[in-house]
Amino acid sequence: AQKVTQAQTEISVVEKEDVTLDCVYETRDTTYYLFWYKQPPSGELVFLIRRNSFDEQNEISGRYSWNFQKSTSSFNFTITASQVVDSAVYFCALSEAFYKLSFGAGTTVTVRA
Amino acid sequence: DTGVSQNPRHKITKRGQNVTFRCDPISEHNRLYWYRQTLGQGPEFLTYFQNEAQLEKSRLLSDRFSAERPKGSFSTLEIQRTEQGDSAMYLCASSLAGAADPKNIQYFGAGTRLSVL
């Protein structure tokens, strides 16, 4: 069985501070995929990034960056210079096949002006 | 591309009643998924379709739940004899599986929030 743990339930920061969200996963498979989604108050899950288990290269996209470390089974997400619009619930998810996603419990990020 | 559409957005019903939700996926997507999300938790997988075929059902999907995708386009999720424990957000997602989209990313709708009184 696969499992995703997001240890941080809530994070509150002041605008322009950096925020790092932790994600630890468990799987027995050698091939798997990791995702981050954002869920704003409107409710719709917004796709942010997908990584496969063979690609440990870290990625930066604008103010977002991701650190994938297979040795520690972690896939952490950093928002640099946070903005109020970043306030949302962020979910880490794991997929062992091309269909079912297993989500963590989510981390609520609140960015105060 | 209008995104994944779900209707209704909110549904309030009395215990014991039947409810039906509809999901319209992104038009060219061949896969459609249903998830359930309770307060403070991440979404949990319920079932998915490849075109009109339902390929997997979670153990969470009791006999009171049924999903269909009759023509491989929109899908419906019906809950019979609703219980208070069915209160949740029901999310639909779609993806384009295969060579056309190797990443097979699931795109979600805004969900239907069900409240069973």
Q: Check if A93 contacts B (Cβ < 8 Å).
A: yes
- Kindly give the parts of chain A with pLDDT less than 70: 1-2, 98
Interchain pair A44, B108: CB under 8 A: yes
pLDDT (tens digit per residue) in B55-112: 989 988 889 999 999 988 999 999 999 999 999 999 999 998 776 566 678 999 999 9
> Which tokens go with A67?
């650190």
pLDDT (tens digit per residue) in B11-20: 999 999 999 9
Q: What is the pLDDT of residue B47?
A: 95
Q: What is the pLDDT of residue B35?
A: 97
Q: What is the pLDDT of residue A2?
A: 66
Q: Check if B31 contacts A (Cβ < 8 Å).
A: yes
The 8-class DSSP code of residue A4 comes to E
CA atoms within 13 Å, Cβ hemisphere of B92: 30
> Which tokens go with A86?
């970043």
Q: Check if B101 contacts A (Cβ < 8 Å).
A: no
Chain A residue with Cα closest to B39: A105
Q: What are phi and psi of A59, to 5 degrees?
A: -135, 145
**B90: closest CA among B31, B16, B11, B18?**
B11
At a CB cut-off of 8 Å and minimum separation 6, what does A97 contact?
A: none
